[in-house]
Each structure stands twice: as C-alpha cells, then as structure tokens.
Structure 1
Amino acid sequence: MRTQLMVLDRNPDVTGLAARPVRLLWREPDGRVRSWVPQLFALYADGTGLLAGCPSSPAAGGGQGAAGADGPGSSVRARVGRACRRLEPPPAVVAANLRWPAGYRHPRGQGPPRLRAAPAEVFAVSCPPAGGAAAVGDPLQVLPAVCHALWCGHLTRLLMSRCARGALVCADAERSGGDVGKRLGAGGGRGRGECGGRHTR
C-alpha cells in the first residue's frame, strides 16, 4: 500500500487521502453477503473520489484479485457513488525513485525563502543533484530543498529509469517516458501549487 500511497500523494489533483476509511457490505443476487475494506480513499479536486485496493504485488489475490473480483460489483459501485479500483504497485524502479524525495515532501523541506527559487535556476541546465546543490550553497541545507522540489515536480528526473547518484535532474516536467502517474493509472506527478503529504493516519 505504501507505494500506491506515494503515487497518489504526488498527484496534484488529489486533495485528501485516508487509509481504510470504510467497510462496504452488500448482498449478492444469490443471497450471499459480501464485504470489502478498501485500503485507501483518495479525494480529488473535482469532488470525485476513489476507493482503492492496494495489493502488495500484481500476483496478490490470484486470478480473482487481478480481475478485480475482490471489490464490489458495478451495482454496488453505483450506489456508493465512488470509483472502486485495484491499484497495482508501481515498478520497483519507480517506487525507489519516489521513496527518496518522498521523505522531503513536507513543506518544511523547501527550506528558507532564499533557497526556494535557487534550485530551479541552477537546474535550468541538467546536472546531478549533488553538483547542483553545491553550486547553490551548503549541500546539507540545499539538498533537502532539491529533494522537496523533485517531489513537487518543480525539478524532475525520469522516474521510469534507474537513478544513481549521478542521475541528471532538470527544471521542467518529465520530458521522456510520459507522465509516470498516468501510466500507473493513478494520476500525474505533482506540478504547481501546494506540496506536502495530505494523507491521514
């Protein structure tokens, strides 16, 4: 669930997140009583919502889980008024690339005002994060601001590729590989506006 949470939390259209928010109970036409506890609820800026099952791996739940049989049927979804979907975990490389900047998603990670604009100016030309941070000032102070900008989408790198210490970072949206969030079926990378985790515990 943690990796799917990171993808949703980085989506600029998601305004709220909650874990295990509700238990759905319904009766099948044949009389069987069934239940489902979605692992995540995401609220979108347009007022829509998503109840999501978050398997730990694509194989979790077997064939029935992969087919979405572990969630409610279409008639139940219509009555709930929310989309219900199984969110597969992102590829391991994407999860690893998100995990690093996710630790700096809180607004305090952007540092003092003098640091907030500096990363975008330095990374106007692609360069490794450590080198760019050193060009701004003390890396111990600047690197958290760089990581926060990566999380927010103000600085980007190709999330679908393995990123080593020397991976290039640039200012602007991901230029290749497309929008990783949309490719994972959970929305885009965080663009402009407020940043930071919004899920409740």
Structure 2
Amino acid sequence: ARYADGTGLFADCPSGPASGGARAQRAGVVLEAACARVGWAYRRLEPPPAVVAGNLRWLAGYRHPRYRRTPGLQAAVAEAFAVPRPLFEGAASVGDPLQVLPAIYHALWSGQLVTGLDEPLHGGSLVGVPAGGGPGRGSEAGIDMLGGE
C-alpha cells in the first residue's frame, strides 16, 4: 500500500488470530527487516471481525468494473445517496433494484459510496457518499464506514 505522502507499507494480513505462531513471527521479523532496507513500513494487521469480513467478501464479488454499468447509472446512484438513506430505498429510487444493486455494491466496494460494515449488510443499511463526495479514505484497515472515524 502507499500512504498519501508516497511512502510504502507492507501490510501482513493473517487469515485468523491463531495465524501468529513462531514461524509467522520469524517471518515477520524477516519481512520487517526487508521492508526497512527499501524504506517501507511493515505492519502486521489484526484480521477483521467476522461480520466485517463477511461484508467485504460479499462486496468483493462486485469489484469488477463491469458492475459500474453505465455512466448515467453511476451518476444516478451517487445522486440517490447524496443524503444517506437505506440501501433498498435508494436502489428503488434509481430504478429496478435487480439492475441497480450491482452498481451500488460496486460503488460501495470502490469507495464511491460508504456504509457501516460492522453489522450485516441488508436492505436497511444506511448508505451515503463519503465526506467530500470523492472516493472514501477509510480507516487503517481500509474500511469506509458511514459515520465512522
């Protein structure tokens, strides 16, 4: 990953809390030293909570650019959520939810829309545009949460 100032970060993302055995710790020491030699930071991150991981797995299924659909639909989706509102309500305001929801999920994945991911994503989930209207910047874990820090 890159920080805003251009410096690099190697983020070690274990699959679970139990992934930190002696072998992983030794590997972390080697990785940290290698990163330091090239001027990068090294950080071992904690795995996300199960609900957040499930939401991210769901949204990742919509990461491909084909889900953006058409530029007109993208603009309509952004306009529908200019003021935060429930997911399904916003989708229905744009058009046929079966056509619109993939574009919304893609916008959530790409940071053009944000929602809280600490609860299971559902039709009543509050969705909005990130502060400033551009792609969200998220927390250290890379997660944008509406109303989050």
- TM-score normalised per structure 2: 0.72
1:111 deviates by 0.9
RMSD: 2.8
Secondary structure, aligned partner of 2:123 = coil
Secondary structure, aligned partner of 1:117 = helix
Q: 2 CA distance for matches of 1:107 and 1:57?
A: 29
- Mapped contact 1:160–1:180 kept (Cα < 8 A): no
Q: Indicate whether 1:111 and 2:69 are aligned.
A: yes
Give percent identity, aligned residues only: 57
- TM-score normalised per structure 1: 0.56
More helix by share: 2
Structure 1 pair 188–135 and aligned structure 2 pair: CA distance change class (3 A):
closer
Structure 1 pair 111–76 and aligned structure 2 pair: CA distance change class (3 A):
closer
- 1:51-79 CA-partner distances (Å, limit 9, x unpaired): 343321122233785xx443236655432
Determine which of 62, 75, 85 is the counterpart of 1:127: 85
- 1:25-84 CA-partner distances (Å, limit 9, x unpaired): xxxxxxxxxxxxxxxxx455654333343321122233785xx44323665543243222
Instruction: Give the length in aligned residue pairs.
Output: 138
Q: Indicate whether 1:61 and 2:20 are aligned.
A: yes
Q: Indicate whether 1:165 and 2:132 are aligned.
A: no
Determine which of 114, 122, 143 is the counterpart of 2:101: 143
- Mapped contact 1:101–1:147 kept (Cα < 8 A): yes
Q: 2 CA distance for matches of 1:45 and 1:127?
A: 30
Counterpart in the other structure of 1:91: 49
The higher radius of gyration belongs to: 1
Counterpart in the other structure of 2:134: none
Which consecutive unaligned segments of at least 5 residues does structure 2 have? 132-136, 145-149
- 1:117-151 CA-partner distances (Å, limit 9, x unpaired): 11122123333322221221122221111111111
Q: 2 CA distance for matches of 1:126 and 1:48?
A: 34
Structure 1 pair 72–124 and aligned structure 2 pair: CA distance change class (3 A):
same
Q: Which moved more, 1:78-87 or 1:102-111?
A: 78-87
Which consecutive unaligned segments of at least 5 residues does structure 1 have? 1-41, 174-178, 190-201
